[in-house]
Structure 1
């Protein structure tokens, strides 16, 4: 396979008008990158992630939507209040962002934790959600081994931050680890070495502890409250969940579809950007069956 491994975040964003800014979301300074016009498309990264996870998608998607990518609560360069971040806190933060931006309804697209939280938000605030794309929504069945590996590697990457630990954490996300560029490692290293991040990371990883996670597992009691058209986007080499897990999730969410992206890991939006972008556009614009 011929691939361009010289992916540059800046080059991916070049040639379009975009802005980075901060909003006050109920007292939490929140970093946002925005581009394009039209219906709002909110994009949410995974645990320990940040805006740059969507660098390969903003340009194309901004031709069709008002793309808004944010650093979630406690992540990236967003504020890091000192309390455990569960789906309730992430959901409240997203609601505060929408209100700060005066957005009454949006398409939500979340990867890993971002997908899990987007679904939770859609069950609590269905009136705000026009469509829901769950991108490798992350350890669907709460596999304890996956939880431990993710928690340990995330803590190590922050508390013992260096090129090797950060790269190892990023490589976990990829099927083809050649996509883990020096720039991507440096971007995450810079975020992880913020002085306040060493404290925040303990609040970030709480959902990898079963005592906390058990209150937010995928169950019909809340998934059945999701009313937005939903697309579950799974990859065939996701290290956190299987295609069978995704098929199970499909049975839990009304009006949901399932698509599989081949030859990708936990970040199909980065490894397969053209395919991901087309799926996102087709689904959010059509709110209909997506052809694979």
Structure 2
């Protein structure tokens, strides 16, 4: 993978990994992760696509946003990044927080998107679920970081998941705490920001999650896919939140099918 640093406005930079040639596929990871968190997809899909996996603001080597940044600020950042790539419309996939960003770009700037994929995304949380993530965000802002709890929630004890769990643990322990807290707060408050805009998404939209993900539930996936004009839901059995790492074969198969879907050439007015 080739590491690249792309200058953005206000003296900020976006750092990303790139491999392969062909249609551009931009990948945005979740909170606490980094560009490398897409390694099974980079390895597989770069044989046919120009895969661009970017560090989210405040993660890896990408410049952080303002501490009070909300989801819309992260979406604006993604739009600026895609425009700076100067690669034309891209295929855009996001995981967890990255999926909220990807959906926000698809809603507000459909001209930049060929296809959009939402992996383990959230959509209209219950009041109980929202309270839990807001509490987690408050803990992070106070300087407390709990690595063990998400690891237990995301991975089981099977030997096949051990390597992925170790990688995720290393990323969580090395993340910049302020950048992590900013992104998590935006994530905690972001599940309804673009929810009403899903009906405007006309491009092929893949919505994928694991059947055992208690926060990015199958019901959320079905609702998002049903709201989009060309949505398709995939629920992978017996998998949790880090499904792109724990079930790479199934995820890569779903992504390839999505990437082979004919783009919809329709002009959709961006939402204000």
Smaller-chain TM-score bracket: 0.7 to 0.9
1:176 shift after superposition: 5.4
Instruction: Give the corresponding residue for 1:23.
Output: 6
Give the CA deviation at 1:175.
Answer: 5.0
Question: 1:175-198, CA deviations, whole angstroms, 9 ceiling, x for partnerless residues?
Answer: 55743533431233122xxxxx33
CA contact (8 A) 1:118 1:132 kept: yes
The answer on 1:262 being equivalent to 2:237 is yes
Q: Is the 8 A contact 1:234 1:246 kept in 2?
A: yes
Could you tell me which runs of 5 or more consecutive residues in structure 2 were left unpaired when the two chains were aligned. 264-272
Contact 1:44/1:72 (8 A) holds in 2: yes
* CA-based RMSD: 2.4
Which of the residues 175, 186, 194 maps onto 1:207? 186
Q: Which of 110, 130, 147 is 1:166 aligned to?
A: 147
**Which secondary structure state, in structure 1, belongs to the residue aligned with residue 111 of structure 2?**
helix
2:69 corresponds to 1:82: no
Counterparts in 2 of 1:171-186, with a 5 A limit?
A: 171-174=152-155, 178-179=161-162, 180-186=164-170
- Residues 170-220 of structure 1 show CA distances to partners (whole Å, capped at 9, x for unaligned) of 3333355743533431233122xxxxx3333442232355xx54760512x
Q: Deviations over 1:119-178 (max 9, x none)?
A: 11111111111111111112x2222333343454566578345xxx32323333335574
Question: CA offsets, 1:7-31, max 9 Å, x none?
Answer: xxxxxxxxxxx21121112232111
Partners of 2:97 and 2:30 lie apart in 1 by 4
TM norm structure 1: 0.79
Deviation of 1:80 (Å): 1.2
Q: Is the contact made by 1:37 and 1:67 (CA closer than 8 Å) also made in structure 2?
A: yes
Aligned residues: 258
Structure 2 CA distance for partners of 1:176 and 1:259, relative to 1, 3 Å: farther
Equivalent in the alignment of 1:137: 121
Tell me, in whole angstroms, the C-alpha distance in 2 between the residues paired with 1:99 and 1:249. 26
Residue 48 of structure 1 contacts residue 154 of structure 1 at CA under 8 Å; is this kept in 2?
A: no
From 241, 249, 253, give the equivalent of 2:216. Answer: 241
Greater shift, 63-72 or 169-178, is seen at 169-178
Residues 1-292 of structure 1: matches in 2 within 5 Å? 18-26=1-9, 27-138=11-122, 140-153=123-136, 159-161=143-145, 165-174=146-155, 178-179=161-162, 180-191=164-175, 197-207=176-186, 212-213=189-190, 216=193, 218-219=195-196, 222-287=197-262
| Unpaired segments ≥5 residues, structure 1 | 1-17, 192-196
CA distance in 1, matches of 2:208, 2:202: 18
2:16 counterpart SS class: strand
Q: Secondary structure at the match of 2:18?
A: strand
Q: Structure 2 length as normaliser, TM-score?
A: 0.84
Q: Separation in 2 of the partners of 1:213 and 1:87? A: 6
Whether the 8 Å CA contact 2:15–2:55 is kept in 1: the answer is yes
